A and B are shown apart, each in its own frame.
Chain A
Amino acid sequence: MTNFPSDERILIATAQQGNLDAFNGLVVMYQDMAFSVAYRILQDDGMAADVTQNAMIAAYRKIDQFRGDNFKSWLMRIVTNACYDELRLKKRHPTASLDDIEGEGDGLYFDAEDDAPLMATIEGPERVVERSELQAVIENCLQQLSASYRVIVVLADVEGYSYEEAASISGISLGTVKSRLSRARSNLRDCLRKKAELLPDQYRQDNS
């Protein structure tokens, strides 16, 4: 699975001719990003994996329709749409999934902690704990945003897409992206401030 040609354009062109291996090269390239976006939007491990897998299958089916040069955005739009579908589904079955949302939300913390040692190997163990606690707080505040705000924050701030890309991926206008992003950031700021008391000193010095 690793010896694909690395050029994305070649992979896309080959995949468009129905070559599954070439498409899987693209999958390997983007699956972390796709899963990451899906997870942060949905705030649920299993749902995010499900959505990522389904989005990859949908992308393979639609890849002959892909035109242009921004495959990443195109794929992310499929992932984001799949997330919207999943959220709508969840909305329709609120009692079936409410416990799941809360339960999985806690699992989220542990995932963040699992990842923390990888990115903080040079820091001492206390710092690692602080970092993962901080991450958990941020994730928790993200979770409290409404889904439409969360999508934009995830795309623009977590993933670093431009306003234009975020608008194209999420299918909303540029102006809506700007206003939603500003309000989402303001809400996040308020949430983080509220939780700041629970955080280690280091964060409070940074933010207050």
Chain B
Amino acid sequence: MSVNRISPEDLMALSAYLDGALDPPERSSLERRLATEPLLLAELDSLRDTVNLVKSLPRLKAPRDFTLTPAMLAQMSGGSSVSHNPKIIDLARFNRWQVASIATLAASILLVFIGLFAGFDNTTSQNTDADEAYQGSVPSVGGETVEDGIFKPTSTSTQDLSSIMRNGTTASASSAPGVSDVMGTQQPSGAVEESDSAEGPAPVPPPSQPTGLLGQTGSEDETDEGYVAATQTSQSPVNPSAAIPQTSGQAGSAANNPTAETMTFAAAPTATAQPSPAATSTSATKVAEESRPDDTTLPSDEPALEPAPETDRAEFDEPADEDEGFEINVLLVVGLVGVIASILALAYTRRRR
């Protein structure tokens, strides 16, 4: 075994000597050394054997014809003269960690905002609470469209490629494996979509889009039901923000499960501030429905505190006051940690490019 016996210069000279690429003076001086240095000679022999082995590799046969068809060129004419489908390159501009970092950043900022506003507005109007929280979710809605913009091309580019493959001149039985392999390798880009959305819940607390990212499908009917249920419980359909205390109380009971917490919190402002299509979360329905039993059991405890017509609002305010402080802290901490982590992750991924 050659362990540092041969200097890189000698290695280079031996390698070039094998290829006949040395100048005559270099060659003769090397040959003189080879005559007297058995180690050098052994090195040369082993390199020669290696090169001969590598040269013995046969040229592979193309698995199919790569001749071009007019249809193929028409398919690609949308792109530039880059050798790749340009959409794939666009996808590559953000890797999935960067996408995840950006989404996490947006979500964390939202968490911080929710935490802050929930804290400050606790004593003031609930209406602004809901409004601000809803506005706070706007940035991450933007984040969602960024993701869409990245992921959508994947499917289209895969389609492009598959139609190109179909247009290929030979799709014979023998070339079929090749074709499927090609499609197989395209899948990673498609798989980015899958795995990203699959990984979505972990790094990305998805306040803006609990439905899509958490894989819950909330139809509009459910939404309406959920909202109706929420308003029924609060018994003040005119003032949707009344649902807030309910949901936060609910979140407090689910505080040991971070995801559930985020979901509930995310659902609350959305459902209250925007009763219409925006509230597409089934969690809103769940929250509302789950809070109804409480509704019926709890009234006897604390109605005296607030004898106003909105009895259940009062009773949900009471436990919420305790829990909210804790939750807000959790939210702020989680949010700030998320912001820092995602900024670090972004910086790291950027530097590596």
A contact set with B: CB distance below 8 Å: 1, 20, 23-24, 27-28, 31-36, 39-40, 44-47, 49-58, 60-62, 78, 81-82, 85, 88-89, 92-93, 95-97, 100, 111, 115, 119, 134-135, 138-139, 142, 153, 156-160, 163, 178-179, 181-183, 185-186, 188-190, 192-193, 206-207
Across the interface, which residues of B come within 8 angstroms of A115, CB to CB?
58, 60-61
Listed residue (A20, A92, A134, A192) with the most chain B CB atoms within 10 angstroms of its CB? A92
Q: Top 7 A-B pairs ranked by shortest CB distance? A: A46-B185, A182-B15, A46-B181, A58-B83, A24-B67, A35-B62, A189-B50
Across the interface, which residues of B come within 8 angstroms of A97, CB to CB?
188
* 8 A-B residue pairs with CB within 8 Å: A34-B66, A39-B60, A40-B57, A46-B186, A49-B63, A92-B353, A93-B96, A178-B15
Once the chains bind, are B1 and A190 in contact (CB under 8 Å)? yes
Across the interface, which residues of A come within 8 angstroms of B58, CB to CB?
115, 119, 135
Across the interface, which residues of A come within 8 angstroms of B216, CB to CB?
none
With both beta carbons as reference points, the residue of chain A lying nearest to B177 in the complex is identified as: A45
Asked whether any CB of chain A lies closer than 8 Å to the CB of B30, the reply is no
With both beta carbons as reference points, the residue of chain B lying nearest to A21 in the complex is identified as: B67
Interface residue SS majority, chain B:
helix
Give the distance in Å from the alpha carbon of A81 to the alpha carbon of B83 in the complex. Answer: 9
B contact set with A: CB distance below 8 Å: 1-2, 6, 8, 11-12, 14-16, 19, 21, 46-47, 49-51, 53-70, 72-73, 76, 81-85, 88, 92, 95-96, 161, 164, 169, 178, 181-186, 188, 191-192, 195, 353
Instruction: Using A97-B188, A189-B47 as known contacts, say yes or no to A56 and B66 having CB atoms under 8 A apart.
Output: yes
Give the distance in Å from the alpha carbon of A78 to the alpha carbon of B64 in the complex. Answer: 19
Give A175 Cβ to nearest chain B Cβ, in Å.
Answer: 9
Once the chains bind, are B184 and A85 in contact (CB under 8 Å)? no
With both beta carbons as reference points, the residue of chain A lying nearest to B10 in the complex is identified as: A182
Once the chains bind, are A36 and B59 in contact (CB under 8 Å)? yes
From B49, B63, B70, B85, contact of A35 by CB (8 A): B63
Q: A35-B62, A49-B63, A61-B81 are in contact. List 4 more A-B contacts (CB 8 A).
A: A32-B60, A95-B195, A96-B192, A157-B51
Give B122 Cβ to nearest chain A Cβ, in Å.
Answer: 43
Give the distance in Å from the alpha carbon of A88 to the alpha carbon of B2 in the complex. Answer: 33
Across the interface, which residues of A come within 8 angstroms of B1, CB to CB?
190, 193
With both beta carbons as reference points, the residue of chain B lying nearest to A89 in the complex is identified as: B92
